[in-house]
């Protein structure tokens, strides 16, 4: 009877370890997908930094132009 119980416990332990291994592999796979998505997003965002700087420069130019036009329109 003790041997039968020990065999049942070992079988149960084997199933638990197998399920734990499957869960760990699935979590690892999902983690890798998340990391790759973050890296891809980071690469895409790099181009936006340059665009942001260009927009800031354009904004300053437009503001200067607006100020110049405003001054010309309000000449006596």
The model's pLDDT over 29-60, given as tens digits with 9 standing for 90+, comes to 999 999 999 999 998 888 888 889 999 999 99
**Please, how many CA atoms are within 13 Å of residue 51, restricted to the half-sphere of its CB?**
5
Global pTM reads 0.54
Residue 3 vs residue 13, higher pLDDT: 13
**pLDDT higher than threshold 80 for residue 76:** no
What is the rounded distance in angstroms from the CA atom of residue 66 to the CA atom of residue 76?
Answer: 18
Tell me, what's the pLDDT at 67? 94
Residue 76 vs residue 62, higher pLDDT: 62
Tell me, what's the pLDDT at 69? 94
Tell me, what's the pLDDT at 53? 92
Tell me, what's the pLDDT at 23? 96
What is the rounded distance in angstroms from the CA atom of residue 63 to the CA atom of residue 66?
Answer: 5
């Amino acid at each position: 009877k003790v041997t039968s119980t020990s065999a049942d416990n070992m079988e149960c332990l084997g199933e638990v370890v197998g399920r734990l291994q499957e869960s760990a592999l699935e979590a690892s796979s999902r983690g890798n997908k998340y990391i790759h998505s973050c890296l891809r997003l980071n690469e895409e965002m790099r181009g936006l930094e340059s665009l942001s700087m260009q927009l800031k420069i354009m904004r300053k130019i437009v503001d200067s132009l607006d100020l110049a036009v405003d001054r010309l329109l309000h000449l006596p």
